[in-house]
Structure 1
Amino acid sequence: MVISKADSRVQLVSDLILPETKRWNAHLVNEIFAQAEACAVRAIPLSWRRTTDFFYWSGRRYGYFSVRSAYYQIQQARLSKNPSSPSQNFPWKKIWTTPTPNKIKHFMYRAVNNILPCRDSLMKRGIQTGEECALCGEHKNESLTHLFLSCSWTRVAWFSHPMGLRSDTIEEGFADSYKPDEMAKITQALWAIWKARNENLFNGKLQDPAAAIHKALTLLMEWLAAQEKTPQNSGTSSNVTWKPPPENSLKVNIDAGWTGTDATGFGLVVRDHNARMMFASTHMEPARFDPAMAEALALRWSLSVIEELGMDDVVIETDSMIVYKAMREAHCKNYIEPIILDCKLLASIFPKFSLSHVKRQANNSAHSLAALAHEYPSIVWWDNPPRSVAEAIFVDALSYD
């Protein structure tokens, strides 16, 4: 720990925590840290119990180290130092949403990152192979630029394309110039060129350029037709609605949301089996937490509220799958574990308690409350909640009638 001002009162991190409330000693933190550092310290959520420290790897959501995650972080650091990389500036979103088979998208990823095994790339890696182009047999340097743009075989292929393309008009930023259906035909043609190159290289069969393009586009049309005939999943989100709890039980919907650049809002609404609102509340924390931590803190806050109200038969619903799974696991080894353990301790107090996961569409009332936390921080309603909340509750009541 590095402090901005020497202070004999602080030797350990625990010296900055109020033992009675298990909260940061905001006055002391603000006194010995610079403003930015003090804000960062106060934004660290604290457990309500006396917990032990543990190692957490920030490269993965669940805190376990892996070589794969370390490699990913190294690659991201390299990309940040080389913003001019083609992969960094390429419009990947347009490629991923192009209506083509996944193998074509994977092929495009490899082509843009220059990791297709053309002869030029193999030679640079010390793999001895022929230098001439596998399609035209003339050029002495089979690079991807030559193969897809300047090869004599390729130029004929582009000319025979239904879009009437010319290889010298396909520029580096071509993905920004075409519609999705046009991009599908272009990427399919690029794949056809690569496939024709491999067919001639490994099987000695040189295809006609126009025939290769025609065959590739025919396959694309067949694939698109098959997608239209594929039955869609009938369980759409529009059918997800709020359901009332069993008789004599209370349902508590909770949610968390950002209420600005530096605050997180919580919301909860309690209803009976007739969908009648019994209680609603908001709370705001003056710090911005990531979604998983915010939802875990919202659950802890909600449990403390309903425990104070004396409720003993509750069904809590959250739209956070991470928090839901963490509460069900015996050991939650990730950065929200201290808060989850607080929640488990609070939940053990209730004679009847259950936690369920629901889609956002079934949690609109709590979501509306969390969004209002910046206007109504730490407010309680026994009736007459804000209009947006009342409307959400009314829609929920209609949905199950």
Structure 2
Amino acid sequence: MSKGDPICLGCGEKLETLEHLLLKCKKAKEIWKATPIQWDGIQELTGNFNSWWAALSEAIQRDQGMDHISLTAYILWQIWKSRNDKEFNNKTHDPAQVINKAWNAWMEFNEGIKKARRCSIEQTTAPLQMEEQEASQNPDNRSAGMHIRIATKWNKASKSIGYGIVAADCRGQDVMGWKMRENES
């Protein structure tokens, strides 16, 4: 087999189409068997990646559906990278290695998201707490205070939710704000 050969490197039997490489090849099937999530009911769609992905995306409505979808994307990415490692470096990876790489990358991403959220919240609340302490320590500032506005917005077209908090001083001047946009949950 030479580079650029249309036959799949994983099984050496079929044409290497997107569907075959990611979903139907015996090597890909071994990886999917080892995954911590299973996509029951969409196996018959593996002949068309777009249909398979559209059916998989409906899981967004389930508990932890977005987590399952994003982990699936990381698994697909690692299958692709494993295939390229075989093609260009002649290295093979067993299913557990592929899944572990996907899992670790997904966990690292989730930790980064959590850390970013914590930082946003801490940056917003620390100045507010200091102002509250200053106002309570100064009796002449009893009319001083903060007004908090909270808003949410759902965009049906993009299936995203936005929410935010704005703190304003007693004169109505915005002092601090925080907002976030997420996929629908």
TM-score when normalising by structure 2: 0.53
Q: Is the 8 A contact 2:7 2:13 kept in 1?
A: yes
- Residues 1:135 and 2:135 aligned together: no
- Residues 1:189 and 2:64 aligned together: no
Amino acid at match of 1:399: G
What is the aligned counterpart of 1:202 among 88, 98, 104? 88
Q: Which runs of 5 or more residues in structure 1 are unaligned? A: 1-127, 240-360, 362-394
Amino acid at match of 2:37: M
Rg larger in 1 or in 2?
Answer: 1
Q: Which runs of 5 or more residues in structure 2 are unaligned? A: 129-148, 150-167, 174-185
The 2-side partners of 1:185 and 1:159 are apart by 14
Note closer, same or farther for the CA distance 1:228–1:177 as it changes in structure 2 (3 Å cut): closer
The 2-side partners of 1:397 and 1:177 are apart by 45
Once the two structures are superposed, residues 65-122 of structure 1 have per-residue CA deviations (whole angstroms, 9 ceiling, x without a partner) of: xxxxxxxxxxxxxxxxxxxxxxxxxxxxxxxxxxxxxxxxxxxxxxxxxxxxxxxxxx
The 2-side partners of 1:169 and 1:218 are apart by 29
Please state how far the C-alpha of 1:169 moved relative to its aligned partner: 5.1
The 2-side partners of 1:170 and 1:177 are apart by 15
| 1:149 match | 23
| 1:232 match | 120
Higher strand share: 2
Note closer, same or farther for the CA distance 1:186–1:170 as it changes in structure 2 (3 Å cut): farther
Amino acid at match of 1:138: E
Q: Is the 8 A contact 2:34 2:99 kept in 1?
A: yes
Once the two structures are superposed, residues 34-71 of structure 1 have per-residue CA deviations (whole angstroms, 9 ceiling, x without a partner) of: xxxxxxxxxxxxxxxxxxxxxxxxxxxxxxxxxxxxxx
Any residues of structure 2 matched to 1:210-225 within 5 Å, and which?
Answer: 210-225=96-111
| 1:175 match | 57
Amino acid at match of 1:168: Q
Any residues of structure 2 matched to 1:194-343 within 5 Å, and which?
Answer: 194-230=80-116, 231-232=119-120, 234=123
SS of match in other structure, 2:36: coil
The 2-side partners of 1:210 and 1:157 are apart by 7
| 2:34 match | 160
Please state how far the C-alpha of 1:211 moved relative to its aligned partner: 2.0
Note closer, same or farther for the CA distance 1:215–1:129 as it changes in structure 2 (3 Å cut): closer
SS of match in other structure, 2:120: coil
Once the two structures are superposed, residues 102-144 of structure 1 have per-residue CA deviations (whole angstroms, 9 ceiling, x without a partner) of: xxxxxxxxxxxxxxxxxxxxxxxxxx921111222221x1110
The 2-side partners of 1:162 and 1:209 are apart by 12
SS of match in other structure, 1:399: coil
- Percent identical among aligned pairs is 29
Q: Is the 8 A contact 1:185 1:217 kept in 2?
A: yes
Aligned length: 116
The 1-side partners of 2:114 and 2:29 are apart by 33
| 2:131 match | none
Q: Is the 8 A contact 1:159 1:165 kept in 2?
A: no
Note closer, same or farther for the CA distance 1:129–1:215 as it changes in structure 2 (3 Å cut): closer
Superposition CA RMSD, Å: 2.9
| 1:375 match | none
Higher helix share: 2
Note closer, same or farther for the CA distance 1:170–1:221 as it changes in structure 2 (3 Å cut): farther
SS of match in other structure, 1:212: helix
Any residues of structure 2 matched to 1:375-394 within 5 Å, and which?
Answer: none
